[in-house]
Amino acid sequence: MSIVEERLPAHPPHGLTAVPGPARTAPPAPVDAEPRRPSMRERVAELAALRSRAHGGPSPKATEAQHAKGKLTARERLELLFDEGTFTEVEGFRRHRATGFGLESKRPHTDGVLIGWGLVEGRRVFAYAHDFRVFGGALGEAHAEKIHKIMDLAEAAGAPIVGLCDGAGARIQEGVTALAGYGGIFQRNVRNSGVIPQISVVMGPCAGGAAYSPALTDFVFMVRGTSQMFITGPDVVQAVTGERISHDGLGGADVHATASGVASFLYDDEESCLAEVRYLLSLLPSNNRELPPPAEAGDPVERRCEALLDLVPADPSLAYDMRRVIEEIADDGEYVEIHERWATNILCALTRLGGEVVGVVANQPSSLAGVLDINASEKGARFVQMCDAFNIPLVTLVDVPGFLPGVDQEHGGVIRHGAKLLYAYCNATVPRISVVLRKAYGGAYIVMDSRSIGTDLALAWPVNEIAVMGAEGAANVVFRREIAASDAPERTRAERIAEYRRELMHPYYAAERGLVDDVIDPAETRARLIGALAVLRSKHTALPSRKHGNQPQ
């Protein structure tokens, strides 16, 4: 009974008539209590389950399909790249917000790219890895923003960035926003060029606009059989030109390692490829404000290289493998060669001398006699610029007969391409040492870091021939009339060749004129280089104040 009912009498007073009151309604039912909030432990369990699903990818079937192609998943690749247990992922729950063409019903976590950082040989490295299992690794707005994020973090931290590329290009369903995402990547590639090491590892398709990002980085790794790079695919090529060609034939790893020069390194499988990425990173500084990391030298600094006395023939017309020279002088004979299969008439390698990283540029007499041509000039210039950007001293081993003659070379622009190598050396401020092993003729001698273009120390072996050209060619020009008028032209020609060689090409001619600092015993090459590099380690060169140079194109 309510309080009101208790106060009303059971019967109305005498003379009064009872008036019916308003209908009584039942009181409102009590409001249910707020639903119970999950506990912290329940939320953590939910997080773990969500992360597990994201790590597993879209489905086991997608993972099996990736493995069936001979390819690892993005996470498996990152596990091989980084020291065990050091990879930290960010934006792992990112999803796209695009609509249309069925995208609103497909919003997987990661959006097809993993980003984060970890340690490689104990040093900080940033990375992104396309996940081909999600949208074929295609780049959309959210996907691109994740890559922008990790590139910006790498720049801010002053640490290398590695891109593991395995994607089908722009996400067509997202239209122009996908293309704009590529623009942001390219802009950051250029901004970070020469600031932090940038490495691209192509481990699947890399087509269209996606191919330009690797081209802007310092090094490109490719895997035989699974990697392809091209601007327009085989179908477009056939439609436009009528040429029929396979994906590998158009832009496979072998093509780019041998013909185009796009690939710096080529490997048969992903495991060995990523192992070499780790090794390369161990030779590079974290950024352009640091020196390359030193290592303890187990190889004696004063070790004599007696094998060099027999390895290099004194006759300048005989070939030999310059790689064996590098093996003799390098710590423990170890080095990594860049663009090993392209422009093989010049060698570019990173190695250690006395535990310190150096870049080696060397003519290769076993390929085209070691001449310089268009491709060799491009290869050498690019390498010299990279070494200079990252404070890596340069050692140049010279055995060059000149530039390759020919109509194709001239029409192909050997002048401007050769000028690139010249420009790179002249612009380099790192310690520079050149060693003339045998011949050094003409303009090619000047270009190969001669004393006249600024090398800090010019050394030569006692069989060196430094001249405008070989004695045979010089005699034909200088004594042409005398030889033609001679009763015995061949004998006269031989005498004049010997005279030219005796007067202008003897081993001490350049040293007498200060163009060579010292003529050395080849067996002492390693010790002399290490000693000179120690002296030059604190070298500082001030360049003119300018926005940038206008290097030959």
Q: Which of 167, 209, 251, 470 is catalytic?
A: 209
What residues have CB less than 8 Å from 71, skipping those under 6 apart? 132, 166, 203, 204, 226, 270
**Alpha-carbon 155 to chain mean position:** 16
Decide: residue 420, CB within 10 A, 0-12 exposed, 13-18 middle, 19+ buried. Answer: buried
φ, ψ of residue 416 to 5 degrees: the values are -75, -30
As given in the structure block, the two tokens for residue 334 are 């170890």
Which segments within 339-469 are labelled E, that is strand? Answer: 346-353, 356-363, 394-400, 432-441, 457-460, 465-467
For 424, residues 6+ apart whose C-beta sits below 8 A from its C-beta are 380, 381, 382, 384, 385, 388, 551
Q: Establish how many alpha carbons lie within 13 A of residue 300's alpha carbon, considering only the half-sphere containing its beta carbon.
A: 5
- Quickly count: other Cβ atoms within 10 Å of residue 158's Cβ: 15
Active site residue 33: no
| Angle of helix 374-389 versus helix 414-427 axis, rounded to 10 | 20
Helices within 322-413 (DSSP H only):
322-329, 374-389, 407-411
Taking phi over 0 as left and psi of -120 to 50 as alpha, with beta for the rest, 85 belongs to: left
From the list 175, 184, 443, 473, the catalytic residue is: 443
- Longest pairwise C-alpha distance within the chain: 170
Q: Choosing from 349, 444, 460, 511, which is the catalytic residue?
A: 444
Sign of torsion over alpha carbons 496, 498, 499, 503: positive
Partners of 458 in the β-ladder: 434
208 catalytic residue (yes or no): yes
Identify the active-site residue in 163, 208, 252, 380.
208
CB 431 within 8 A of CB 395: no
Beta bridge partners of 23: none
3-class SS at 116? strand
- Whether the Cβ atoms of residue 106 and residue 134 lie closer than 8 Å to each other: no
Known active-site residue 444: yes
SS3 at position 85: coil
- Is residue 443 among the annotated active site residues? yes
Catalytic residues: 208-209, 443-444
